Amino acid sequence: MIKSIIILGILWISNVIFSQSLPKVVSGKLERIENFKSNYVTARNIDVWLPENYSNTKKYNVLYMHDGQMLFDAETTWNKQAWDADNVLSKLLKEGKIQDVIIVGIASDATTRHIDYFPQKPFESLTQNQQNSIYKANRSNGQSIFNSGKINSDNYLKFIVKELKPIIDNRYSVYTDAEHTLIAGSSMGGLISIYAICEYPDVFGGAACLSTHWPGIFSVENNPIPNAFFNYLKNHLPTPKNHKIYFDYGTATLDAMYEPIQLIVDDIMKSKGFTAKNWMTQKFEGADHSEKSWNKRLPIPMEFLLKK
């Protein structure tokens, strides 16, 4: 055990970089694990946000968030938008509305994002012909969705659970149990978040899935993926006794596709015993598929999952 801790410490020291190129935060501070090497996925940056007055004398919840490069600073993102997650959580903390928490922002790799975030077991439940058809799907601009290879989300989750989480648990003053470990994301990040809590219910106690991209690709016509997700959820949802799950969707741009599918998911949630105590689905009329929209409603899932 001692040897393992020493090894983890060495790995941490060799990877932490207090970089001048870090995204700027209005409150708290960021620490970066630069180019985190993994045996399961491509290397990527990990940005850890610590709230104001972070102290080793108390324990913090851990919120793992996908698309980490989009979380904190609009000046560093491709579309000049960001979740401004540091602002949102700092305000909630100052108001005493949520428990103490740190954020672990996991950057996505633009070339592998779709195969990292696409739930693997539902996909593998499709027939071979259906799988082949999905792999041939294109974006609206004609670019292939899966041009970087086969779906790799089981390995992506192994990276988080087996490689990243032990480092975070060892370096920071955090709770390590599922009750205090959350996972969140939007769009495909929402999809991998619900998959994570289903695959690792003993690791994650809560999931926030904003604008969950249930179609998996960019068309709903003759698309077998939603039904595969429905069947998967019926058999793999975690127990509502000690898990909380949040879903939401807007009605504009890409979010306009989601409501009919989300309503079926809601029925499945009810059938599995989820109630208002441990599950929430919100509809935001007029909200589009963007970081600005997710920023505006981020306080809702955070209060739901982290309420004191």
Q: How much of the chain is in helix, strand and coil states, percent to nearest 5?
A: 40, 20, 40
This prediction has a pTM of: 0.92
- Higher-confidence residue of 16 and 270: namely 270
pLDDT at 21: 76
What φ, ψ does residue 33 adopt, rounded to 5°? -95, 105
Q: What residue has token string 């610590």?
A: 50
pLDDT band at 222 (very low <50, low <70, confident <90, very high): very high
Interval 63-86: pLDDT, tens: 999 999 999 999 999 999 999 999
Helices (H), 101-257: 113-117, 120-124, 128-135, 153-158, 165-171, 188-199, 225-236
Work out the widest C-alpha separation in the chain, in whole angstroms: 56
Confidence of residue 2 (pLDDT cuts 50, 70, 90): very low
Cβ atoms within 10 A of the Cβ of 203, count?
Answer: 19
Tracing tokens 């899966």 back to the chain, one arrives at 146
Question: Which two three-digit tokens encode residue 236?
Answer: 């793999």
Percent of the chain at pLDDT above 70? Answer: 94
The confidence band for 141, taking pLDDT boundaries of 50, 70 and 90, is: confident
Asked if 215 contacts 226 with a C-beta cutoff of 8 angstroms, the reply is yes
| Burial bucket for residue 234 (CB in 10 Å: 0-12, 13-18, 19+) | exposed
Residue 147 has pLDDT above 90, yes or no: no
